[in-house]
Amino acid sequence: MPVVTLPDGSQRRFDHPVTVDEVAGGIGPGLRKAALAARVNGRLVDTSYVIAEDASLAIVTDKDPDGLEVIRHSTAHLLAQAVKELFPEAQVTIGPVIEDGFYYDFAYERPFTPEDLEAIEAKMTELARADQKVTRRVMARDEAVKFFKGLGELYKAEIIAGIPDKDEISLYGQGNWVDLCRGPHVPSTGKLKAFKLTKVAGAYWRGDSRNEMLQRIYGTAWPDKKQLDEYLHRLEEAEKRDHRRIGKDLDLFHLQEEAPGAVFWHPRGWTVFQSLISYMRERQNAAGYQEVSAPELMDVTLWQQSGHLEKFGENMFLTQTPDQRLYAIKPMNCPGHVQIFKHGLRSYRELPVRLAEFGKVHRYEPSGALHGLMRVRAFTQDDGHVFVTEDQITSESVAITQLILDIYRDFGFEDVEIKYADRPPKRVGSDAIWDRAEAALQAASSAAGIEYTLNKGEGAFYGPKLEFVLRDAIGRDWQCGTLQVDLNMPERLGAYYIDEHSAKRTPVMLHRAIFGSLERFFAILLEHHAGKLPAWLSPVQAVVLSITERQEEYVRRVTETLKNQGFRVESDLRNEKVGFKIREHTLRRVPYLLVAGDKEVAAKLLSVRTRSGKDLGTMVPETFAERLRVELTSRGREVLEG
């Protein structure tokens, strides 16, 4: 009879097979009530699961990540049940858990409306309050196909028909509704207390554009209303901070159908973009990098040698010339940098060789995946590649890590998580080479004093990597920078240096990106700062405003003086009320508004205020210029403005 071992090491003995629910009840009524599922010998199961042999057991509640996933999975089923009760002719397909929620795809004769969503959500609430028991049963595959065909659920029958007949087919039921599912699920619908349907979108059956279009209803679910409300507030904040909206409001960029996934930069947006490049160029120069530029179009044989064609071929843009020569538009900068390293004989005394490029790359992304500046087909990488000896890996990796973290602080990102990604299933190079590369990166991480979490199997196809994940102002995570140790590509492309014994040696190649994609980093910055970029990045750093036409000459003179000192300053001489002007430039997120009325002109002063409405008083233009200069030099660390 089973002995059940709990997480604290204690054991419970039973003289008969026992369910998870019964074990939880034996521990205490509170745990039994809170139990959503369990892990038995590491496997996630329902609370109705029967333990017949010795096993380890961990009860899953809504405090556990597994519990949240079970809640969301079960809420997807609740959504499908509600749709079927309200729209019996609808057919259900699949309903997985996704980040922060779930979705379910339906085949229905007409599009669901916002009013439909309200009715569906109300029905879900009614079904949850009914506290219907959730039950599980198992069928043979052919029997399950027949069962769902009998219900008119042809999509479900098609899914089951594609499952190997040796696999177990499990069905979950609640009330009068049954669905195909592996589970597990909550014990009853009453456990589902906080959910919200968010939107409807189109989706092709099985993700294939040749198939029929379905309707995908998205939703979110949380353990309680407080967490749901917090999430909905984050969604609201994210909507306000959407970089596409800010880009339009501030006239920074646009995208259009004639160039899908490519950006049309407007003057103000291009100013910020170039400021990012200037900043990074300054930091790289100080860190000993040499800036280079490699061709965007190179013979496809180079990409075959590097391994990129095999790994990324379907995402590369290829073109054939009239003489039948096949070229690829570069999706990455690394092979080009290897060619530059190879040009001329290299001595070990030259290493490390640090090369950097603001390289324009192109990758094919499906149209449905494109998203503003976040997901594009043409983008600019701040790529760096450092060629080192194996003995230099640790010291150079420590320097790169410190540089990355320091740069993120300059942009207002103090909360950075680091993930270590080891060898992926599909890779180049021997296990022995990977062992060396992984050990080297782990040693470098230890020397840098950084803590990381494991992102198993997510390394680059040529080497392990560290991923730098930024947390923004509203708690979202963005993976930007990477550091990769590569013992494969230099050898594949024939790179070598001459060591102290006059022998040829293959260098180690450290791949390093900090912004990652400049376009994407630009978008992250806009959303992190809600468009209120720090003064050193703002396309317009200050506007000088007149109150009446009597101040025009003074405003022009002050504007010209500030511009000649290198500041990005504009004047506003329009015949509008000054309050209107202030409001307009505040909405444009201009950091400083400089107002000149008759009193200011007479005393050769400016009335200075920030975009947050803080009044900094009056000061002579020279004093403001010095204040702004300090702020720009220190990148905002010494001068606090709204």
The DSSP element (H or E) to which 84 belongs, if any, is helix 65-86
Burial bucket for residue 75 (CB in 10 Å: 0-12, 13-18, 19+): buried
**How long, in residues, is the chain?**
642
The DSSP element (H or E) to which 513 belongs, if any, is strand 508-517
- As a whole number of angstroms, the distance between CA 513 and CA 121 comes to 44
Token couple for 135: 């039950």
Q: Could you give phi then psi for residue 228, rounded to 5 degrees?
A: -60, -50
- Give the contacts of 439 (CB within 8 A, at least 6 positions apart): none
- As a whole number of angstroms, the distance between CA 127 and CA 488 comes to 57
Q: What share of the chain is helix, strand, coil (3-state, %, to 5)?
A: 40, 30, 35
Q: Determine contact, residues 255/247, Cβ cutoff 8 Å.
A: no
Which residues are designated catalytic?
334, 363, 381, 383, 385, 465, 511
Token couple for 516: 């990652």
Question: What's CA 287's distance to the chain center, in Å?
Answer: 28
Q: Determine contact, residues 107/154, Cβ cutoff 8 Å.
A: no
Q: What is the DSSP string of 202-249?
A: EEEGGG-TTS-EEEEEEEEEESSHHHHHHHHHHHHHHHHT-HHHHHHH
Q: What is the DSSP string of 158-205?
A: HHHHTS-TTS-EEEEEETTEEEE------SBGGG--EEEEEEEEEEEG
